Structure 1
Amino acid sequence: MKGKEELRNERFIRSKNELTNRSKEAFNESTDRPRQWARKKATESIEQSIREKLRSILDPEVGINILDLGLVRRVSANDEDIEIEMTLTSPGCPVGPLILQEVENAIKASWPEHDVLLSLTFDPPWSPERISPAGREALQI
């Protein structure tokens, strides 16, 4: 049978270990925050750079870039992949395959270390409301 002193020491050691473990968890969490913030900022910067690159690709039928035309719905990036969700002005767009190939080529040329994942959706369908103010100005509408 353990004496009172031994039990007190065991409780003290257990409490000290629990505090140490909690302190380690809190420290790890606090040191992860700046890294997570930096990673998020880097991702946002890449995504913004991708958008700027997409701004250089023109829809040959309309003559304005695919970003201002509202064909790009979503851009996301991580350490390995770049995902771009797009639409076209119509499902039967005759230059659709050309635009998609230009997007893939431009992104791969600028970020060769990433896999480029393009997805095409028509839900909801494209409409002129998706054109940006800069696109409207370029089209004079």
Structure 2
Amino acid sequence: MVTKEEILEALQAVEDPEIGMDVVNLGLVYDVQINKDNVYIKMTMTAPTCPVTPWILSEVQKIVENMAGVEMADVELVWEPPWNPSMMSEVARDALNM
């Protein structure tokens, strides 16, 4: 069975092309739930008007569904709580000079 930590590590490969930072370190992944071989991910974007939203959501789903032990990944886009820069990891803040 896949773990939450393995999923978050794999999702570091999904980078917001406009910002140049991965979705995990940006703090866009709010929750990961695992039920046997199904994974449920709740995430957001930095802004509702983000033009790469469909691509990012597709990449997240594709990466997780390609992991051993995962049959299906359901990615839900949410806007609550609203994303803000304080949600970024120390790695992201340092890389983006924030």
Question: What TM-score do you get using the length of structure 2 for normalisation?
Answer: 0.92
Gap regions ≥5 residues in structure 1:
1-41
CA offsets, 1:20-43, max 9 Å, x none? xxxxxxxxxxxxxxxxxxxxxx6x
For 2:38 and 2:70, the matched residues in 1 are separated by 9
Query: Are 2:82 and 1:125 aligned?
Result: yes
For 2:67 and 2:37, the matched residues in 1 are separated by 14
For 1:113 and 1:128, the matched residues in 2 are separated by 31
> Structure 1 residue runs of 4+, over 6 Å off?
none
Query: Are 2:9 and 1:52 aligned?
Result: yes
Residue equivalent to 1:62: 19
Which gives a bigger RCO, structure 1 or 2 (Cα 8 Å, sep 6+)?
Answer: 2
For 2:70 and 2:31, the matched residues in 1 are separated by 20
Structure 1 residues 1-141: aligned runs within 5 Å:
46-111=3-68, 113-141=70-98
| Count of aligned pairs between the two proteins | 98
Task: Say whether the 8 Å CA contact 2:37–2:70 is kept in structure 1.
Answer: yes
For 1:111 and 1:89, the matched residues in 2 are separated by 29
Deviation of residue 80 (structure 1)? Answer: 2.8
Task: Say whether the 8 Å CA contact 2:64–2:70 is kept in structure 1.
Answer: no
Gap regions ≥5 residues in structure 2:
none
Task: Find the structure with the greater CA-based Rg.
Answer: 1
For 2:82 and 2:70, the matched residues in 1 are separated by 32
For 1:82 and 1:50, the matched residues in 2 are separated by 9
**Residues 95 and 50 of structure 1, relative CA distance in 2, 3 Å threshold:** same
For 1:114 and 1:78, the matched residues in 2 are separated by 10
RMSD, aligned CA: 1.4
Percentage of matched positions with identical amino acids: 36
CA offsets, 1:77-125, max 9 Å, x none? 1213101000001111100111001101111111464211111110121
